[in-house]
A and B are shown apart, each in its own frame.
Chain A
Amino acid sequence: MSGHAIPDTLLDVQALDKRFGGLHVTRNVSFQLRAGDRLALIGPNGAGKTTLVNQISGVLEPSAGQIWLRGADVTRTSQAQRVRAGLARTFQITTLAPHFAVQRQIELALFEREGLTGRLWRSIDGYPALQAEAQDILARFGLQAHAATATQDLAYGEQRLIEMALALALRPKVLLLDEPMAGVPKGDGARLLAALDALPGDLAVLIIEHDMDLVFRFANRIVVLAEGAVLADGSPDEIRRDPRVRAAYLGA
């Protein structure tokens, strides 16, 4: 499977390898994402899932291997360049501007998407179209009542929604979701689940998630990671039946 020739492959991870000194955290990982894919990356704690997402998004540089995004090699490019090429991510640990009003937070993503943050003079209140779009995004996530609320004053689950709203505001082609439900109490995540179900159909999504009910409901493909290497890669049914996965991870 050497993949970037396939036309609708949006993300192509090829033989990715990462070492921290003597620690080998990513071992020869390869997979592709096409438009519309819902790929779940699962594995026990410490399997290297977040490290992998950090390499794909450009936070970490891989020791070896390549990352292709929409037909271009982005292995050595900055995070900013990857975002411009259509890659967006969320964080397992909520990563927001805590003192910003919620709407400002969304506007910031829009300014960035439109390449406006190099502009020094016109007030941020002078972009009514972007303001309207930010309000629209807030409304879509049921957060319109909090437009002027400081982000840190929102309930935790609502902050998780903003993580996702920010990523979607960038209008990505590839979306990496690092445990979007992390820390949200069960039964409290209705809006998050609704948002997950309603992601645009042509978006390529990679999701890291520990809740197996959610994984098997959401994903059409599952990659199992163990000790930095791909243990199994297949449809949810194949993964469910795979004896190695059952032994290593599902524990049943």
Chain B
Amino acid sequence: MNHPTMTHPVQAAVAVAMPLQPAQSAPRCAPPWRAPLLLLVAGLAACAAFPDQLGLITRIFITGLFVLSLDLVVGVAGLATLGHAALFGLGAYAAGIFALHAHADPLLGLGVGIVAGALTALVSGAFLLRYQGFTFLMLTVAVSQIVLSLVQKARNWTGGDDGLSGFAMAPLLGRFAFDLEGKVAAVYSLVVLVLLFYVAQRIVQSPFGLAVRGIHENRARMAALGTPVFRRLWLLYTVAGALAGAAGALSAQTNAVVGTDSLSFALSAEALVMLILGGAGQLTGALVGATVFTLLHHTAASINPYHWLFVVGGLLMLVVLVPPAKAWAWLRQRAGGVR
């Protein structure tokens, strides 16, 4: 038969068919600690430069963590969701209820928020992730609305529409009390954000992360390679839930109040807008989008409280309609033709 059995039969055959070309250098990932370290430095610098804006800065950190979690689902796994606030809100309520009834230690409360977010994602994901595309999108909305109405009903635990309040956090690590200026809250939120950003970077660059990105690119291909597609997405969704829960817990602890707006459709939608504004799939884009959106909200709303959405709408159109390469070229030209 005409099937030669050499050591590298294809190599021999192909070598005849074409001359050998030099190997291209292999693709490599950026070090996973670089971007989080940069974030830490930039965050601390922002805190030092604007000591009277620590509340706003803290909100940016927390929102950044939430949008980062959303990016794992939307940008990395390619699952468009409009129900991500359910994971954030339940993390917030869990941390608040824990502080009110069990223990006021912030790190324990953070752990409770993380577990609540992860569990919510684990349970809802078992159902949601069986669907794709538009069906998945609509079901995420449905699930988050159900969660919202359950929280409104469970008035004894959640305070219903009045919100959950009346809890005060114990000093961080038993030493740093949450001060009125918000110094401790800002640094605490920043450190949690940086650590979880690092974790997210590691996960995205792991073989697991590569497989999830592969599922985003082409589900049929991954199934043909033997990837258990559902199980991989389920784990990713649970990790994202943990991150969203952490953001919720930080929000509850630094504001000392949790409202039903933390579970709202508006929050899910705004987070998606932030992600698209900053660029999905790169993790850093999530942080950029959250920062730009929150700053814009803050400044534009103080100029004209009713029309700031105008600005956001315009900016979003610009980002969606103008390809980044074109924008760069334009900027470079404006900067004086730097090559």
Contacts and interface: CB of A to CB of B under 8 A. Distances in A.
A26 interface: no
Interface residues of A, number: 66
A117 B227 contact: yes
A241 to B, nearest CB: 21
A78 interface: yes
Given A142-B21, A191-B14, A97 B9 contact: no
A195 B10 contact: yes
Given A97-B214, A112-B225, A198-B4, A148 B26 contact: yes
B218 A95 contact: yes
A170 B225 contact: yes
A123 B206 contact: yes
Given A113-B226, A139-B23, A147-B27, A119 B207 contact: yes
A220 B225 contact: no
B18 A191 contact: yes
A145 B217 CA distance: 23
Nearest to B216: A97
A109 B225 contact: yes
A111 B27 contact: no
B13 interface: yes
Interface stretch (A1-9, A65-73, A100-108): A100-108
Interface of A: 36, 38, 57, 59, 78-80, 82-84, 88-89, 91, 95-101, 103-104, 107-109, 111-113, 116-125, 127, 131, 135, 138-142, 144-149, 166-167, 170, 190-191, 194-195, 197-202, 220
20 contacts: A36-B1, A80-B226, A89-B224, A95-B224, A101-B27, A111-B210, A112-B211, A112-B225, A117-B207, A123-B206, A124-B209, A141-B14, A142-B14, A142-B21, A145-B22, A145-B23, A148-B27, A149-B24, A198-B4, A202-B5
Interface of B: 1-5, 8-14, 16-18, 20-29, 32, 202-203, 205-211, 213-214, 217-218, 220-228, 232, 235, 239
